[in-house]
Amino acid sequence: TIASVFGGLVGATILILLAPPLANVALAFGPTEYFWLAIFGLTLISALSVGNTLKGLIGACIGLLLSTIGVAVVGGDVRYTLNTQILLGGIDITSALIGLYCIPVVIDLVASKAPHLSVLEDKRGFRLVEALRISWASKFNMLRSSLIGTVVGILPGAGGSIAGLIAYSEARRSSRHPERFGKGEPNGVIATEASNNATVGGGFIPTLVLGIPGTPPDAIILGALLVQGLKIGPSLFNEQGNVVYTFMFGLLIATVLMLPVGLLLGRYAYKSIVRIPKSLLVPTVAFLTILGSFAIHSNPHDMQMMFVLGVLAWILQRYGFAPSPIVLGLVLGQIAEQGFVQSYMIGNATNALTAMFFGRPISMAIIAFSLLTLFYPLLTSLFSRRR
């Protein structure tokens, strides 16, 4: 909760102070930058694949193949639909996330007799002082993750899930004890919670200045602002600054209120979940997965796809394939394909194909970060062997 509040405050503060200048950064991103940004995201697999990078890369390839199903983003080609209308729209991201992450857990809960959570009775109260001490010791990780979340939030189409993956991998890479991640390491929790809340403030920058909502909640808020008569655009802060800055400070107040509300609800909700018997919890979770995958488009085919991907993920986990690389490949596959095809077409039309991909300053910076991320594990092991 502390990390969430801190990340939200950082994102909201940057939104208030730097919204007009940061809008120029969003404007500078073309299809080439989005392509290289997707490639950069795929290089994070080496950090997400704990213990086996090869299986992580295979999982990412599975995700990339899944992202090509349906009608092509550019060109309209129909691919890998097995001559059925079910797959024409491709695989819905939300249904895939529910299936890949939730269904294997539900199957494991059913397959084992052990209780779903075994927690020692803790009579030490909120332990808020201990949490503050841990947060202060991890202040650089919290600040870095908040900045990552804000920057990712500025990019239209990116969201809290991508920011969380990037911040988590960076926290794990810079940690002195990376083997603890995935086993309850506080730095991993701090990184993801700070980054995904910071995307809220960053996401409002393209929404307010460019009129481009990055996520569905941003689109809803944009519609509400348009109904109130706000003219979205670069002149918004000059002509209607009193309204928009009131809205931004409201975001700050809501973020601060998240601390007491989050502590109280989190504590008592956790207690109740621990005490719920598994025979009641598992059917409830299974029902919510079905309801969640159906409610996005009111399409029963999304439920079927969610179940198929969930069973596939459960089988792959038996052989050491984690779901995160598959999700990363699925999410970034469409972004990479659209950016590549558009850049290729523009480069061919202007007879500057090489310059289109390798001649833009932001692209070169992203390529440098991608190479650093990709070869970081190799360089680390090389230096440790020399020592």
Express each pLDDT in 272-297 by its tens digit. 777 788 888 889 999 999 998 888 78
Give mean pLDDT, residues 346-365.
89
Domain range enclosing 220: 2-94+123-277+322-386
**203 inside domain:** yes
| The pLDDT of residue 386 is above 70 | yes
For the chain, what percentages of helix, strand and coil (3-state, to nearest 5) are there?
Answer: 75, 0, 25
| Number of domains forming the structure of the chain | 1
C-alpha to C-alpha distance for 306 and 302, rounded to whole angstroms: 6
Region of poorest pLDDT, from 97-111, 141-155, 175-189, 202-216: 202-216
SS3 344: helix
**What type of residue is 82?**
L
CB atoms within 10 A of CB 174: 13
C-alpha to C-alpha distance for 44 and 38, rounded to whole angstroms: 10
| Closest to 35 measured CA to CA, from 329, 363, 361 | 363
Express each pLDDT in 60-97 by its tens digit. 889 999 999 988 878 788 888 888 888 888 888 888 88
CB 331 within 8 A of CB 34: no
**214 inside domain:** yes
**340 inside domain:** yes
CB 83 within 8 A of CB 69: no
CB 153 within 8 A of CB 205: yes
Look over the chain and give the mean of its residue pLDDT values, rounded to a whole number.
82
**What type of residue is 25?**
V
Task: Categorize the per-residue pLDDT at 268 as very low, low, confident or very high, splitting at 50, 70 and 90.
Answer: confident
**366 inside domain:** yes
CB 325 within 8 A of CB 60: yes
Express each pLDDT in 2-49 by its tens digit. 999 999 999 888 888 877 676 566 667 788 988 888 888 777 666 555
Q: What Å distances lie between residue 137 and 130, 140, 191, 356, CA to CA?
A: 11, 8, 13, 44
Phi and psi dihedrals of 210, rounded to 5? -105, -15
**108 inside domain:** no
Which tokens go with 263? 């502590």
CB 131 within 8 A of CB 2: yes
Residue 156 makes CB contacts below 8 A (sequence gap 6+) with 26, 206, 210, 212, 213, 214
Express each pLDDT in 232-258 by its tens digit. 766 676 677 777 788 888 888 999 999
Region of poorest pLDDT, from 155-164, 195-204, 300-309, 367-376: 155-164
**306 inside domain:** no
E-assigned strand segments in the chain: 70-71, 78-79
**284 inside domain:** no
SS3 324: helix
| Closest to 200 measured CA to CA, from 239, 240, 258, 242 | 258
**89 inside domain:** yes
| The pLDDT of residue 163 is above 90 | no
Burial of 4 (0-12, 13-18, 19+ CB in 10 A): buried
CB 297 within 8 A of CB 98: no
CB 28 within 8 A of CB 361: no
CB 45 within 8 A of CB 307: no
